[in-house]
Amino acid sequence: MSRGVSSGKRLVVQSHEGSDENVVELASGRNWGRDMRVLLIEDDSATAQSIELMLKSESFNVYTTDLGEEGVDLGKLYDYDIILLDLNLPDMSGYEVLRSLRVAKVKTPILILSGLAGIEDKVKGLGFGADDYLTKPFHKDELVARIHAIVRRSKGHAQSVITTGDLVVNLDTKTVEVDAARVHLTGKEYQMLELLSLRKGTTLTKEMFLNHLYGGMDEPELKIIDVFICKLRKKLANASDGKNYIETVWGRGYVLREPNDVEERIPA
C-alpha cells in the first residue's frame, strides 16, 4: 500500500450497553460488524485515528487514506461494504471524489462525514450520490448504527428497530410506534428519542442532546432540552396509557428505560 493507506489488525471487544446490541435484526442473522470492510477517506490524522478506533472496536476492518485521488483508485479497485468520506481533502474535494466514483459506476454505499452542517452541503452531497450525511462531531453508536442501516439497505436486507417495552423506534424509516400505533413526532423530538434509544439505559446530558441536535451550530440554551423532553414524554404517554419511558436523572440528564423501571407516570 502507498503511504496514504493504512489498515489495522482486527480487534474484537465485548458489546456494551447502549451499543448496537439493542438493534434487532428482523431478517438476516448475520453479525454485521464482523468482517465488514470500510474505506475511510479522511485527511485529519487525529480524526481518522478516532474513527478507526470506533469501528475496530466493533470488529470492522478499516482501510484509511488521506488523499481523495487515492480514495477514488481504491474504491474502483477493491470491494468495500461502505466508504466513509470527508469533504475537505488536500488534493481534491470530497464532492469530486464522490462524483468520480459514481461516474465510474462504483456502487459501494458512501456515507459523508463532515463538519459542514448546512442544508445546502447535505443536499449537494446526497445529490452527488451519497447514501447518507453525518455531521461532525458524532457519537460512535450513531455512526455504527448508520453504517449498519446503509449496508443493510444496499444488500437488500431488512430494517432494524430498537424496542423498549411497547415503544418501537425504526432507525431506517425514522418512525416511532407504541403498541403498533404510529406516534407523530417533530424532527427534533425524533432525533432525541433516537439518541436515547441508541444509548438505552445510559444517562445522556443536556450538552449531548444539544450537540446531537445542532452539531455546534447556533446552539440555543440548555433549557430547550427540557422543553423538548417534556413534549416528547407527553406524546409517548398519550400513546401508552400514561407510561413514562424517559427518566430524569437529577443533576445529570435523561435516560430511556423500560416503563416498569420508571415509577412515575405522566398525567394526561
Helix (H), strand (E), coil (C) string for 192-230 = HHHHHHHCCCCCECHHHHHHHHHCCCCCCCCHHHHHHHH
Please provide the average confidence, as pLDDT, over all residues in the chain.
82
Taking 70 as the threshold, does the pLDDT of residue 13 lie above it? Answer: no
Give alpha helix (H) positions in 11-168.
45-56, 68-77, 94-103, 119-127, 140-154
CATH hierarchy code of domain 6-154:
3.40.50.2300
pTM over 0.85? The answer is no
CA 138 to chain centre: 8
Tens digit of each residue's pLDDT (9 = 90 or more) over 46-55: 999 999 999 9
Strand 175-178 relative to strand 181-183, pairing: antiparallel
Residues pairing with 254 in the sheet? 204, 248
Q: Residue 168 in 3-state DSSP?
A: strand
Q: For residue 268, how many C-alpha atoms fall within 13 Å in the half-sphere facing its CB? A: 4
Backbone dihedral region for residue 249 (phi beyond 0: left; psi -120 to 50: alpha; all else: beta): beta
What's the CA gap between 10 and 176, in Å, rounded?
35
Residue 7 — very low, low, confident or very high, per pLDDT cuts 50/70/90? very low
Per-residue confidence (pLDDT) for residue 158, from 0 to 100: 54
User: Do 253 and 205 contact (CB within 8 A), yes or no?
Assistant: yes
**88-117 tens-digit pLDDT:** 999 999 999 999 999 999 999 999 999 988
pLDDT > 90 fraction of the chain, expressed in percent and rounded: 53
Does residue 26 surpass a pLDDT of 60?
Answer: no
Q: Where in the chain is the domain with CATH 1.10.10.10?
A: 160-261
Residue with the three cell numbers 454485521: 32
How much is the pLDDT for 35? 62
Distance, CA of 22 to CA of 257 (rounded, Å): 12
Q: Residue 224: its pLDDT value, please?
A: 93
Tell me if 11 sits within 8 A of 54, measured CB to CB.
Answer: no
What is the maximum alpha-carbon separation in the chain? 63
Confidence of residue 263 (pLDDT cuts 50, 70, 90): low
The reported pLDDT for the residue numbered 22 is 39
CA atoms of 220 and 161, how far apart (whole Å): 30
Which pLDDT band holds residue 216 (cuts at 50, 70, 90)?
low
What confidence score (pLDDT) does residue 137 get?
A: 87
Nearest to 17 by CA among 164, 214, 149, 148: 164
pLDDT at 2: 38
Better-predicted residue by pLDDT, 261 or 211: 211
CB-based contact 27:68 (threshold 8 Å): no
- Tell which residue, 184, 187, 166, has the closest CA to residue 240: 166
Give residue-wise pLDDT tens across range 175-197.
999 998 999 999 999 999 988 98
Tell me where in the chain the CATH 3.40.50.2300 domain(s) lie.
Answer: 6-154
Decide yes or no: CATH 1.20.1260.10 for domain 160-261.
Answer: no
- Please report how the helices 187-198 and 223-239 are oriented relative to each other, as an axis angle in degrees rounded to 10: 80
| Higher-pLDDT residue of 184, 23 | 184
